[in-house]
Chain A
Amino acid sequence: MEELERRENIVSIEECPRCGLKNKRKFQQGDYVLKQSGKCPKCNIPMYIKLIYAEPFKP
């Protein structure tokens, strides 16, 4: 069972609605797609979560 859990990394991709800047970070509990999350360092406006997915774990 632990094997199953170790195989994947769950990530949330944030995107800035204005400049399209993307930021990849670890999934946090309570995240969902289209939730406001973080701030764009360039435009200083809230970003939103565009995608949440599992990618193969790379140590």
Chain B
Amino acid sequence: MIMALLWLPFGDNQFPPILQLVIIWIPFIILIVYGQKIQAWTILGEVSRYLNKLKMFRDKARVTMLNYVQKKGTTAEGRARFEELIEFVTILPVDLDPVGIVKKLDHVLTTQDIQLKEEVARLLPRDSTEIERSCALNMVEVAAALNSIYKVVRHFYILGKKSSNVYILAQLQMILPTLLRQAEALVSAMKALEEGQPLGDGVGPLVVSHLMKDVKKVKIARETVMAELEYKGRKLALIKAEGPQGSVGKVDEALINLLNGHYSDASTIIMIDAALKLEGEKTGEVAEGIGAAIGGLGVEKFKIEEIAHKYGIPLYAIIIKESIIEAISIMKKEIAESVDEVKEAVLRIVENKVPYGGKAIIIGVGNTLGISQ
């Protein structure tokens, strides 16, 4: 349109030379010489908008955490310590010589877990409940995650800005939308934690909690409970983290305890867990398979695979598909409503794979916040 207007006054010839210079050659030269700089500026603008959002999320999470612990009666000194905990670092073991690294990793992670838990328990008033402590602890972890996302992005932003390096900035620009969605999910996890609502990740413990509802529960490992259920002549050991406080428990240790005890002759181990769906897959879809269904850095998975192999017991997995964001947000309707389907799948596997009079171990993997037993 504009080109057509420019053309009009000059008949069917072409631009006068001066106009041609102004509208074609000067911009062309500017773009050649400063093109990359201009690109860097536009990307910088976009990245800095994202960065501001991430900062807002981080601050919001920190404020939510501080308000929560204040409401529960933590002193000003304690709150300052809570702020320091956000910067808490865990140094993972060296993997130059990977033999035996899982044990070292387990040691480091367990120490971190216990250390943070003790610190939070010390900072909260003595009469605080187990639920409040676990929520505060989870909030520290979420706030720390948001803090580290923000800091890493800021690092590359400043680096790119200093060096006007388009390539650093372009990479940042590409991953930022995904990072922002994860940060959003973490913020919404914060809200779930504040109210003690179940997370999408809690679907495994949810199924097991329904199964063990009417039978006696005993503690079998740290923050982990077990119940025995008779089903059509089979004996089922049900394991989940102890709720309704937010914890993933020590299901690996619970399994080891059972296998080294009365359940060494179990015919199957069935693990129920939320699993990452691919884009395009439906949330809450249930799939069955083989193997140890458990996430994390791999310590629990390693231990479970090792003990299952030692006793020669097959591992069955039932997974419920959800995105990473759904896993750390309040449980969605589609996920919650898959519970009955999962329960049926578990009982079907038990009927098919466990002989009459045999035993099976069923583990609900995930964070059991807001889910009792």
Contact = CB atoms under 8 A, between A and B. Distances in A.
Interface of A: 1, 4-5, 8, 10, 27, 29-35, 48, 50-56
Nearest to A50: B210
Contact of A33 (B329, B332, B337, B372): B372
B187 A1 contact: yes
B135 to A, nearest CB: 12
B198 A33 contact: yes
B344 to A, nearest CB: 16
A32 B336 contact: no
B245 to A, nearest CB: 9
Interface of B: 56, 60, 184, 187-188, 191, 195-198, 206, 209-210, 213, 243-244, 329-333, 335-337, 339, 370-373
A36 to B, nearest CB: 10
9 contacts: A1-B60, A1-B187, A29-B195, A32-B196, A32-B243, A33-B198, A34-B372, A52-B197, A55-B332
A56 B117 CA distance: 35
A10 B196 contact: no
Contacts of B184: 4
Contacts of B243: 32-33
Given A27-B197, A29-B195, A33-B244, A53 B331 contact: yes
B333 A33 contact: no
B1 to A, nearest CB: 37
A52 B198 contact: yes
Contact of A32 (B188, B244, B330, B337): B244
A33 B243 CA distance: 9
A51 B331 CA distance: 9
